[in-house]
Structure 1
Amino acid sequence: MSYQFGRRDFLKGLGGMAGLSLMGAGAWRTALASQMGSSEAWQQASGTTLQFISENTPPTSAIAANLEPFKKLTGINVNITEMQLGALVQKVALDFGSGRSAYDIIYADPYQVVAPYHQGLVDLNRFIGDDSLPSIPKGVDDFIPTQLAAAGRFGNREELYTLPYDCPTMIWIYRKDLFDKYHDQMQQDLGFAPTPSADTTWEQYYQIAKWFNGDTASEVKYGTGHQAQQYDSLMCDFSNVLFAYGGDYFANGQQVGLIGTDDPGPCQLENDASMAAAEFYRKLLKIAHPGSTSWDWTGVANAFQNGEFAMMPEWHEFAGSLESSDLKGKVGYAPLPKGPARSANLWGGTGIGINANASEDVQKAAWLFLVWATSPQTQLAGLKSDVGGGTPTRQSVYDMPEVKKASHPPTDMPNMLTADTMLTAWQDDHIGLRPKIPQWNEVDTVIFTQLSKMLAGQQDAAQTMKLAKQRIDRIVGA
């Protein structure tokens, strides 16, 4: 069970970054040759056929639509199988357990694949240090550091099981046109500047939401909407507040989220910070659009696009579809508000790795694909794809002049309007990371089940956190 399928499938259905033109195969191949060089190293596995299993995501859609540059560069054929993440996890687990390699390249979700099955993936350091193979353009240090650790490592900072492939992250998305129109009135009524900033708190977010619930702004019915359905989306929405208040699911939460562990220890949801976060979240959802408890990420995005409310915590990749709707040019993007501890923006990215059951020759061929698929030029081409394409996971792509230009309107890369926000959201003190533990699916279910009961008025915040802790402690053996 994962938030990723519904959200990304929605984006894919809307055309992802609609209206963009895909770089032609010839131009892409020329750019790649210039960036990576053209040598016998790239042709050493010519004639090989690789099997790549992936969740149906925008980056994979873009790559699948134009594999010709990779085939020209390497002589390798790649068959791509795309599916819902839950089905992918089952197939990968069976493949690892069989000792065979039906899938050579794995889209490896950190929580559902890397944490429980990392021993089935190759440590990529084996190829990074092999002079006979092409190296990673600009090195591993070009990947956003928090993403490299969260997507690729487990248990320690030495082994690397995947390269960062995509990076959806929750941010504050709001109706900039309405915030501008009513700025002076809101500031007078509220006593603070309403425009989202690094100083805006969750309590101020609550006050802004209440203001929009009034009669002054006729354009929207409510101030805020949330993905608070009894589902993984509810855990995601709540986690932003939990981390901002200084709460967490386990001790050393950032370490557990970045590196992962088999033994996270006792759940921390009964501490004072976690309790305060739950009580605030309950209060916030009481004034939110009443449809919030029936929405996941797709539902809340649709309602926002239809003018139901003025702001929401939402995955940044929805910018592509919002900027292709009637709201084009009317939407603003910012890091989520801060709590007593910090601003926290939940990250939901994934990496791609190599099946350790594959033969040595196939593993080397798969390495060529990993290097190519995560290269700056391929990520840039994905940004321009008309069938999808994810947000870059490399600093060098954000530093490209054409990408910098696209981060401000008018733009032909609408997801890049979030670029400044994202580069802040991925910093160590802003990124929000759920626990990377083998038992995460069961823990996740406990969290959203208990929160849903709280929002329905069946139990208060203290009871909710107590019951969640008791159940989670049993799951992880604390």
Structure 2
Amino acid sequence: MPAFLPARSPATRPPVGRRSLLRGAAAVGAAGLLTACGRAAGASFDAGAAPWRRYAGTTLNFISENTAPTAAIAANLAPFTKLTGIHVNIVTLELSALAQKVALDLASGNGQYDVVYADPYQVLAPYAAAFADLREFQENPDLPRLPGGFGDFVATHLDAAGRFEDKEKVLALPYDSATMIWQYRADLFEKYHDRMAADLGFDPAPSDGTTWEQYYAIARWFNEHTDEVKYGTGHQAKQHDSLMCDFSNVLWAYGGDYFDDGARVGSLGATDPGRCRLGSERAVAAAEFYQRLLKIADPGSRTWDWDGLGAAFRAGRIAMCPNFHEYAASNEAVMPGKVGYARLPKGPARAAGMYGGTGIAISGVAPKRRREAAWLFANWATAPKTQLAGLASKVGGGTPTRTSVYAERAVLRAEHRPTKLPNMLTAKAVRETWRPANIGLRPKIPMWGECDTAVYTQLSGLIAGDASPRATMRATAERIDRITARGWVA
């Protein structure tokens, strides 16, 4: 068995499912790296050309989830082609389909995809051994270096999206940074501020001091006292990955976590995270509050993922919601000047907002010259100049992952209305959320996909009233322990 393939205990060996097969196949593909490389075509190479032009004539393949940064890059590849002479084919897929494509490509040794959108949980953690260590290129004097180096990336992003277990290796460059924050109808909060304050006994204006209990009270107040919106709050509580994201904000705020040392397991990741801690009293308290919160939320919440929730908010159904910050651009297009953005409320332990960012990696299966050509694209795609252009793109563009971009004068101005870069209206909220004390990081473990399904399946029963918070958390912990036990050393 390859050293990087988790050992299985015979007592807990499960039937081999499609996900397990793909994971094992990818690991075997990585193990056969030396023999597999010959199957992929090389790259055009001219040793006498300038560093950015040495691979002119090469065609690279980039596989990505259909995200805003990739949409912006796909619409404006001409500057890269002009700079390098390299052509890039971009394939965009839904994330689960992407993960399967990448797994099969790595397992086959074909190296069809040179640059990979490496979701930390469905791609990077399961297949980390098959990706190139990017220090190989950054330290190569014959290749262009990253402007600002690795240190210019937001530190929490570089760990969460770029590393796995090893603090030194860099397997991906932070590429997008979707983060959950509090989005609210600032016009309604202003209109009813004094009445709410008098009725509730606290200042309802969203702030770093606002608690989840106060959020609940504000939501109920809107339910009972206004006609402009049907409900005070809405959530992405569909039986889907979005439900895990929505609940996790509350879990962390109440001091609960999925595993011991959750900060490390979420940041650097772990092959063996230990036993699940969702059965703890803090996790049960979080589940009790979440169940209570969903009872007063828009009933449509149970059918919404993040997109459905964003659409409901823009349609005027709800006064506020936790959602990913990059919906700001859509909010401002539909309700200009009416939306406010803040860090999510705090609980008894802390405030936390789910980080959903991803990096781009270079396939270790690809031949050496193709990897070097791929470095030019990864370098350019995450460069400050490219991120700034993407931020202003009319067809997409994510939020920068580099600290230097946030220091740009135009970006600083865009944090306040009027602005042509609406995602920057969320900058203060996301910067606060990205602090190590506030960032919410789900476990970065090879088997997270299965664990995620267990979490949102059990939570669906909780919000439907089919199980108590304690029973839900205990059942989820037991299911996760069975899943992770397959990877424990016997």
The question of a shared fold, defined as TM-score above 0.5 by the shorter chain, is answered with yes
Paired positions, count = 438
Match of 1:126 among 121, 136, 141: 136
Q: Which amino acid aligns with 2:456?
A: F
SS at 1:364 equivalent: helix
Q: Which amino acid aligns with 1:408?
A: H
SS at 2:333 equivalent: coil
Number of the residue aligned with 1:52: 62
Number of the residue aligned with 2:204: 194
Q: Residues 342-371 of structure 1: CA distance to partner in whole angstroms, max 9, x if unpaired? A: 110000011001111111111111001111
Return structure 1 stretches of 4+ with deviation > 3 angstroms: none
SS at 1:266 equivalent: coil
Number of the residue aligned with 2:122: 112
Distance in 1 separating the partners of 2:73 and 2:395:
9
Match of 2:237 among 224, 228, 231: 228
Number of the residue aligned with 1:17: none
- Deviation, 1:235, is 0.5
Number of the residue aligned with 2:181: 171
Distance in 2 separating the partners of 1:231 and 1:88:
17
Q: Residues 93-129 of structure 1: CA distance to partner in whole angstroms, max 9, x if unpaired? A: 0111111211111111000111000111000011111
SS at 1:333 equivalent: strand
Number of the residue aligned with 1:407: 415
Q: Residues 256-286 of structure 1: CA distance to partner in whole angstroms, max 9, x if unpaired? A: 0100011011100111111110001011111
Q: Quick check: 1:250 aligned with 2:259?
A: yes
Number of the residue aligned with 2:268: 259
Number of the residue aligned with 1:8: none
Match of 1:83 among 87, 93, 99: 93
SS at 1:171 equivalent: strand
Number of the residue aligned with 1:290: 299
Q: Quick check: 1:424 aligned with 2:436?
A: no
Match of 1:347 among 343, 351, 355: 355
Q: Quick check: 1:393 aligned with 2:401?
A: yes
Distance in 2 separating the partners of 1:51 and 1:344:
36
- Deviation, 1:87, is 1.1
Q: Which amino acid aligns with 1:163?
A: L
Number of the residue aligned with 1:14: none
Q: Which amino acid aligns with 2:382?
A: T
Q: Which amino acid aligns with 1:170?
A: M
Q: Which amino acid aligns with 1:63?
A: I
- Deviation, 1:65, is 0.9
Q: Which amino acid aligns with 1:308?
A: R
Distance in 1 separating the partners of 2:67 and 2:289:
34
Unaligned runs of 5+ in 2: 1-48
Q: Quick check: 1:154 aligned with 2:164?
A: yes
Q: Which amino acid aligns with 1:130?
A: N
Identical-residue share of aligned pairs (%): 59
Q: Residues 190-235 of structure 1: CA distance to partner in whole angstroms, max 9, x if unpaired? A: 11000010100000001111111113x2211111100111111110
- Deviation, 1:58, is 0.9
Number of the residue aligned with 1:300: 309
Q: Which amino acid aligns with 1:269?
A: L
Q: Residues 48-102 of structure 1: CA distance to partner in whole angstroms, max 9, x if unpaired? A: 1111111111111111111111111111111111111111111100111111211
Number of the residue aligned with 1:474: 482
Match of 1:364 among 372, 378, 388: 372
**What are the residue-to-residue correspondences of 1:5-20 with 2, within 5 Å?**
none
RMSD after superposition: 0.9
Distance in 1 separating the partners of 2:240 and 2:93:
20
Distance in 2 separating the partners of 1:269 and 1:263:
16
Distance in 1 separating the partners of 2:346 and 2:365:
45
- Deviation, 1:185, is 0.8
Distance in 2 separating the partners of 1:64 and 1:221:
39
Distance in 1 separating the partners of 2:456 and 2:467:
14
The normalised TM-score by structure 1 is 0.91
Unaligned runs of 5+ in 1: 1-38
